[in-house]
Amino acid sequence: KAGVTQTPRYLIKTRGQQVTLSCSPISGHRSVSWYQQTPGQGLQFLFEYFSETQRNKGNFPGRFSGRQFSNSRSEMNVSTLELGDSALYLCASSHDTYEHYGYTFGSGTRLTVV
Protein backbone atom coordinates (compact mmCIF):
# COMPACT_ATOMS: atom_id res chain seq x y z
CA LYS A 1 0.00 0.00 0.00
CA ALA A 2 1.60 3.25 -1.12
CA GLY A 3 2.09 5.92 1.51
CA VAL A 4 1.45 9.64 1.34
CA THR A 5 3.44 11.15 -1.50
CA GLN A 6 4.54 14.75 -1.54
CA THR A 7 6.19 16.45 -4.47
CA PRO A 8 8.59 18.01 -4.95
CA ARG A 9 10.93 17.11 -2.09
CA TYR A 10 12.85 20.37 -2.32
CA LEU A 11 12.08 23.79 -3.75
CA ILE A 12 13.98 27.04 -3.92
CA LYS A 13 11.97 30.12 -4.79
CA THR A 14 12.58 33.84 -4.88
CA ARG A 15 10.74 36.29 -2.67
CA GLY A 16 7.56 37.47 -4.37
CA GLN A 17 7.07 34.33 -6.42
CA GLN A 18 4.35 31.79 -5.90
CA VAL A 19 4.64 28.05 -5.34
CA THR A 20 2.43 25.00 -5.57
CA LEU A 21 3.02 21.86 -3.53
CA SER A 22 1.33 18.54 -4.17
CA CYS A 23 0.15 15.76 -1.88
CA SER A 24 -1.25 12.37 -2.90
CA PRO A 25 -2.94 10.62 0.03
CA ILE A 26 -3.12 6.94 0.77
CA SER A 27 -5.65 5.23 -1.44
CA GLY A 28 -9.06 5.40 0.21
CA HIS A 29 -8.19 8.35 2.41
CA ARG A 30 -10.38 11.33 1.71
CA SER A 31 -9.08 13.75 4.32
CA VAL A 32 -5.88 15.68 3.68
CA SER A 33 -4.35 18.12 6.17
CA TRP A 34 -1.41 20.47 5.67
CA TYR A 35 1.14 21.62 8.24
CA GLN A 36 4.00 24.07 8.26
CA GLN A 37 7.06 23.09 10.30
CA THR A 38 9.70 25.67 11.28
CA PRO A 39 12.34 25.61 14.01
CA GLY A 40 10.81 28.64 15.68
CA GLN A 41 7.08 27.95 15.47
CA GLY A 42 7.11 24.17 15.36
CA LEU A 43 4.29 22.37 13.60
CA GLN A 44 1.33 24.53 12.74
CA PHE A 45 -1.92 23.47 11.10
CA LEU A 46 -2.70 25.17 7.80
CA PHE A 47 -5.94 23.59 6.59
CA GLU A 48 -7.82 20.37 6.00
CA TYR A 49 -9.71 19.21 2.95
CA PHE A 50 -12.29 16.50 2.63
CA SER A 51 -14.16 15.57 -0.53
CA GLU A 52 -12.90 18.68 -2.32
CA THR A 53 -14.12 21.00 0.46
CA GLN A 54 -12.07 22.89 3.00
CA ARG A 55 -13.41 21.82 6.37
CA ASN A 56 -10.98 23.53 8.67
CA LYS A 57 -8.44 26.31 8.49
CA GLY A 58 -5.59 27.46 10.69
CA ASN A 59 -4.38 30.98 11.40
CA PHE A 60 -2.43 31.72 8.28
CA PRO A 61 -2.76 34.67 5.91
CA GLY A 62 -4.78 34.42 2.73
CA ARG A 63 -1.57 33.96 0.72
CA PHE A 64 -1.82 30.32 1.78
CA SER A 65 -4.50 28.44 -0.06
CA GLY A 66 -5.27 24.92 -1.09
CA ARG A 67 -7.59 22.69 -2.98
CA GLN A 68 -8.48 19.07 -3.31
CA PHE A 69 -9.35 17.15 -6.43
CA SER A 70 -11.92 14.42 -6.95
CA ASN A 71 -9.22 11.75 -6.55
CA SER A 72 -8.39 13.24 -3.12
CA ARG A 73 -5.04 14.59 -4.24
CA SER A 74 -4.43 17.99 -2.74
CA GLU A 75 -2.38 21.00 -3.66
CA MET A 76 -1.22 23.87 -1.52
CA ASN A 77 -0.38 27.25 -2.97
CA VAL A 78 1.56 30.10 -1.44
CA SER A 79 1.51 33.40 -3.30
CA THR A 80 3.84 36.37 -2.92
CA LEU A 81 6.43 34.35 -1.06
CA GLU A 82 8.18 35.87 1.94
CA LEU A 83 11.45 34.80 3.54
CA GLY A 84 9.49 33.63 6.56
CA ASP A 85 7.65 31.07 4.43
CA SER A 86 10.79 28.97 4.31
CA ALA A 87 9.77 25.77 6.04
CA LEU A 88 9.06 22.08 5.76
CA TYR A 89 5.50 21.60 4.54
CA LEU A 90 3.93 18.32 5.56
CA CYS A 91 0.68 16.81 4.49
CA ALA A 92 -1.19 14.06 6.26
CA SER A 93 -4.06 11.89 5.18
CA SER A 94 -6.64 9.89 7.07
CA HIS A 95 -9.68 7.77 6.46
CA ASP A 96 -12.41 10.09 7.67
CA THR A 97 -14.34 7.46 9.58
CA TYR A 98 -11.23 6.33 11.42
CA GLU A 99 -9.60 9.71 11.74
CA HIS A 100 -8.96 9.12 15.39
CA TYR A 101 -6.73 6.20 14.49
CA GLY A 102 -4.13 8.71 13.49
CA TYR A 103 -2.84 10.45 10.47
CA THR A 104 -0.28 9.22 7.96
CA PHE A 105 2.24 11.83 6.97
CA GLY A 106 4.29 12.31 3.85
CA SER A 107 8.00 13.14 3.89
CA GLY A 108 7.33 16.79 3.24
CA THR A 109 8.44 19.48 0.84
CA ARG A 110 11.35 21.63 1.97
CA LEU A 111 10.71 25.15 0.70
CA THR A 112 13.50 27.71 0.78
CA VAL A 113 12.68 31.31 -0.10
CA VAL A 114 15.66 33.47 -1.04
Partner 1 sequence: AQTVTQSQPEMSVQEAETVTLSCTYDTSESDYYLFWYKQPPSRQMILVIRQEAYKQQNATENRFSVNFQKAAKSFSLKISDSQLGDAAMYFCAYRSESPSNTGKLIFGQGTTLQVKP
List interacting residues with partner 1 (CB under 8 A). 31-33, 35, 42-43, 45, 47-50, 55-56, 58, 88, 90, 92, 94, 99-108, 110
At closest approach, how far in Å is the CB of 73 from partner 1?
A: 16
At closest approach, how far in Å is the CB of 16 from partner 1?
A: 27
At closest approach, how far in Å is the CB of 70 from partner 1?
A: 18
Q: Toward partner 1, which CB reaches closer, 13 or 95? A: 95
Q: Toward partner 1, which CB reaches closer, 18 or 57? A: 57
DSSP string computed for 8-68: -SEEEE-TT--EEEEEEPPTT--EEEEEEEETTTEEEEEEEEETTEEEEE-S--TTEEEEE
CA 73 to chain centre: 11
- Residue 98 sits at φ, ψ, to 5 deg, of -110, 35
